[in-house]
Amino acid sequence: MNRARLRSRSLFYGLGVVLTAAGSFAFAVDTSWDFTPRLSLSQVFSDNIRLEPRGDEESDLITQLNTGFNFNREGAQARASVGYNLQSLFYWRETGETSFFHQFFADSGIEVVEDRLAIDAAAGFSQRQLVRERAGGDNLNLDGNRGDVLTFRISPIYTEQFDDFADFQLRYSYNRVDVQSSEVSGSNSQRNEVSLNLTSGALFSRLGWGLSADWSETDFDDGASTSLASIEALARWNATDRFSVFGTIGYEQDDFDQEEGNPQQDDITWQIGATFAAGERTFMEAFVGDRVFGRSYGASLRHRLRNSRVFLDYSEDITTVNEFEIDQTIPRGVSSTVEEAVIVDGEPVFLDLESPELRSGAFVSRRLSAGYSGQRRKTGWGLRVFHEEREFEVSDRSEQAQSIVGNVSWRMAPRTSLIASGSIQENSFADQEGEQTLYSTRLGLQRQLGPRLSASLDYSYRDLDSSANQDGYQENRVTATLQKSF
């Protein structure tokens, strides 16, 4: 798909999300738009703008101008959140490389029929890495490894409450992921999904139950398709107000249409587990079960201390790149700065090497993520570890990604903060010898000049060690930024 067509489709989807939500606000006259324009100007120096191997580096000065806005509105029956940023890059040495990047995000929800029918929709337009050879670069680097990504989701939801006996929900979702690059165009896909859930109501205080059915089909542009279907019954015993045990039994059928004669997988599934809520600050859940791909495990922990919080998640599931892009790209929204925080509101932000390779088909994901973040007086911090193994169905291809990343901020004066961060990321592939390791560090100074005016000075360093193809690089970067919101 060419760039013009992709941007046109992004604009069409995005405007559809916004206008659909905005139309419903005719019934919400008590609400108003929260509109925030913003502008930032940066001067950047890079000593390796093309991310070339050691000895072939080229330096450059880049003037970066970010112009954008955010607006939000929320009423009794509808909500809308929209963000846009135009990233303009002007190169002093490579004058012919002037670039413009659009980042767009829209999220909306409408209650069409009160307590019955609602519609959720979201669209995103951003950039991501395409192939692994130059992993770790961003939009400023002239390495040819960034592509525009459009993500779109719309989901009508019908709910029904049968007094205190049961709650019913029927949801349909349509997702679309488009990446502007001929190298990975086969991974572009659309996904249709239907889920049905019937859960016990307040009448069942001690012994709860549930019935669910799910079906999804993902069609890739290279002709591959993935179909997943399951039906499941659940029983839960609330032994106390804080402790419960549960079990499920069901049937799962998976069809991976990537090769002729590919066998269909189906099997009886089961799961047993327990949840424990030790007050309002702590929640724990763990389970073990059996899926079509074998024994599976899962766990989750959320614990809030006085000035910090701890989280841990482990999951095993069959998924696709389509699902990953929808789940990770859309929630990020739009920022006026290129660099993203390591941890936002206590939750992690994915790094480049943690993202799966852009390819068609389904894969079994075994993912562990744990972190610790907090704020005390003048100091804030975040620490996160991540590990994921991916095994692609049908083919023998597999990949592994892991990272450790942390950041700390110190308010050294009433309007001045010092920020430091560092990370180590690794990934490897079963069909390649060696691995990639990306080391990143950042040290920044931020100063609040006025109520909506700030300035910052950052130094960052990146080092990619690629033993697989001897194609590593190093980059030092200094950035001075002036940012204003209105």
* CA-CA-CA-CA dihedral for 14, 101, 85, 464, to nearest 10: 110
- Give 273-304 pLDDT, tens digit per residue: 999 998 889 999 999 999 988 899 999 999 99
- Average the pLDDT over 5-25 and give the result: 54
How far from chain centre, in Å, is Cα 415? 32
Residue 50 scores a pLDDT above 70: yes
- At residue 196, the pLDDT reads 98
- Average the pLDDT over 20-42 and give the result: 68
What CATH class does 3-485 carry? mainly beta
pLDDT-derived band at 329, boundaries 50, 70, 90: low
Residue whose C-alpha is closest to residue 175's, from 255, 120, 102, 223: 120
- Give 142-154 pLDDT, tens digit per residue: 988 888 888 889 9
CB 266 within 8 A of CB 256: no
- Give 415-428 pLDDT, tens digit per residue: 999 999 999 999 88
Residue 277 vs residues 63, 166, 208, 303, 317: alpha-carbon distances, Å: 51, 23, 17, 10, 25
Mean pLDDT of the chain: 85
Q: pTM higher than 0.95, yes or no?
A: no
Tokens found for residue 187: 């991974």
Domain boundaries, the chain: 3-485
In this structure, which amino acid lies at residue 314?
Answer: Y
Residue 30 scores a pLDDT above 80: no
Considering only residues 391 and 394, tell me which one the structure prediction assigns the higher pLDDT.
391
- Give 117-175 pLDDT, tens digit per residue: 999 988 888 888 887 666 788 999 998 888 888 888 999 999 999 999 999 999 999 99
Residue 340 scores a pLDDT above 50: no
Residue 223 scores a pLDDT above 90: no
Helix (H) or strand (E) holding 17: helix 3-24
In this structure, which amino acid lies at residue 131?
Answer: V
Helix (H) or strand (E) holding 21: helix 3-24
- At residue 387, the pLDDT reads 96
CA separation for the pair 150, 152 (Å, rounded): 7
- At residue 346, the pLDDT reads 44
pLDDT-derived band at 2, boundaries 50, 70, 90: low
- At residue 398, the pLDDT reads 85
- At residue 470, the pLDDT reads 61
- At residue 342, the pLDDT reads 45
CA separation for the pair 84, 69 (Å, rounded): 6
Residue 385 scores a pLDDT above 80: yes
- Give 436-452 pLDDT, tens digit per residue: 899 999 999 999 999 89
The beta strand positions in 331-397, using DSSP E, are: 343-344, 347-348, 362-376, 379-392
- At residue 253, the pLDDT reads 92
Considering only residues 165 and 79, tell me which one the structure prediction assigns the higher pLDDT.
165
- At residue 333, the pLDDT reads 55
> Which segment, 332-336, 362-366, 470-474, is predicted with the most confidence on average?
362-366
- At residue 79, the pLDDT reads 84
CA separation for the pair 82, 336 (Å, rounded): 13
The percent of residues in the chain predicted with pLDDT above 70, rounded, is 84
